[in-house]
Amino acid sequence: MKLTPRGKDYLKAILAGAIIASILDIKIVLTLCLSIAITAAISGLVLRTSSRKNVQLELENPHLSCFKGDEMTEKVRLILSRSQLVSATISSVQCPDGIDASVDTSHPENLVVRLLPKFARRFSGLIVAFELRDPLQLFSKTIDISNNDFILDCYPAALLTEIRASRPISLALGERTGRTHGTGQEFYSVDEYHVSTEEKNIFWKKVAAMPDERLLVKLRESNIPRTLKIALLQTSDRQQDSLEWMDHACEGTALLGKTILSIGCDVEILFISGREIISRRATDLTELSDAIMLMSISGKSDLEDTPTLLSNSDICVTGFKELQLDLLATTMARKPALLIEDHDAMPKSIGNLSIIFNGSQDVSRLVNSVVGR
């Protein structure tokens, strides 16, 4: 708790009045000084007993979404339970790193915050600092309240780019597996007969060998995979460069994802969060955007979890720092990979199937290398 400028003037007034009144023996002024000193003490006590428990923060829209470069506004309101005794004004709003924020303080109890995210990712949390003042405006105290429910999803600009849709032509039938059943020539698996299944696919040899009267059908392989999996691999600490790196990772993943969706396939985004591999399937741009936002907050993972992640993915998104390890560099050299540059790191090796991405490269080569163009 500290004195406001009015509070300092108030105390000086008491001191000066008490000294002069003592010298001139003016008891009425001495009594006045004592009264206003007691009133100030009571007012200070009222403020001292106020805390963040008496204050609630209300956001007009706790979940905002925008594309990179768009400005969003958020209205922040304070609800004070002791509003008739104590006044509260919002003094500042602290946003996560990566967001340029400006605050309109023309209405101190209802603040308008303009947010301009500079990087594609999910931002969460907001810290609001506000000042409480006592009824006589003599004392003030500043309290911070953090609102962890606030989320700002900044989607990569790549989601807005025009992708020329083209279905890959399967020139080499059977050379690559589509990993799902379809209309190809190769055998995929055996399943039970359903009314919708074509009768020509009934596996008569197997049916004859069955002890019961179930009908089994032969499922054929698809030449084009139904789902392509993109994995984010992040095992290094990037500190102040992490925002920029993740921004490029999101942009690259968005480009890849959009390209995959345009050829009629689904996308699955894989990433490690905690010690768990998280998978998010996307069949349209909305689901792709949500999956990328979840991926953006995944954080660093351990090396122990990487083999599973890599083996389950078709395309890997990783950085130069990760490729400083021989084992990883060797593994990635054999896999289609989107490499994000790290300014202070050089990879041990870069495979022919990799593309170095810094925001504007064409990533369709990676997609085609998976579907077999």
Partner 1 sequence: MKESKIKIASSATAGIGMFLLYFAFISRYIQLSDWSQLSSIEVVILLTLILRVVVILVVGRKIRIQPMIKIIAFSIEVFSILPLLVLVFITGGTYFSDLMSIILTSWFAASALVLSPYAIVEFSRSMLSGSTLSGIIINATIQVGGILFLASMLSRMSGPIVGLSGLGSTIILQVKSSISAGGISNAGSNPVILLGLTLFYVGLLSYLTLGAQKEGTSISVQYSFILLLAGTIVALVWTTVALQVTLDVLLVLTAPTFFLLAAIWGTAHEK
Q: Is 28 in the site for partner 1 (CB under 8 A)?
A: yes
Q: Is 6 in the site for partner 1 (CB under 8 A)?
A: yes
Residues with Cβ within 8 Å of 103's Cβ and at least 6 positions away in sequence, in order, are 90, 92, 93, 111, 112, 113, 114
HEC-encoded secondary structure of 279-329: EEEECCHHHHHHHHHHHHCCCCCCHHHHHHHHHCCCEEEEECCHHHCHHHH
Query: Hey, what are 179's tokens?
Result: 């990993």
CA distances from 237 to 139, 342, 357 (A): 45, 11, 19
Q: Pick from 105, 112, 136, 166: which binds partner 1 (CB under 8 A)?
A: 136
- Return the residues of window 57-86 that contact partner 1 according to CB under 8 A: 80, 83-86
Tell me the number of residues near partner 1 by CB under 8 A. Answer: 54
Q: Is 21 in the site for partner 1 (CB under 8 A)?
A: yes
Other Cβ atoms closer than 10 A to 174: 11
Q: Is 137 in the site for partner 1 (CB under 8 A)?
A: yes
Question: Which residue number, 29 or 143, has a Cβ lying nearer to partner 1?
Answer: 29
Q: Pick from 33, 232, 288, 328: which binds partner 1 (CB under 8 A)?
A: 33
**What phi and psi values does residue 350 have, to the nearest 5 degrees?**
-130, 125
Here's the x/- map for partner 1, 93-132, by CB under 8 A: it reads as: ----------------x-----------------------
Nearest distance in Å: CB 272, partner 1: 44
Options 40-48, 97-105, 200-208, 352-360: segment touching partner 1 (CB under 8 A): 40-48
**Measured distance CA(165)–CA(355) in Å, rounded:** 21
**Measured distance CA(232)–CA(225) in Å, rounded:** 20
Options 35-43, 183-191, 320-328, 348-356: segment touching partner 1 (CB under 8 A): 35-43
The gap between the terminal CA atoms of the chain, to the nearest Å, is: 70
Residues found near partner 1 in the complex (CB under 8 A) = 1-3, 6-7, 9-18, 20-44, 46, 48, 80, 83-87, 109, 135-139
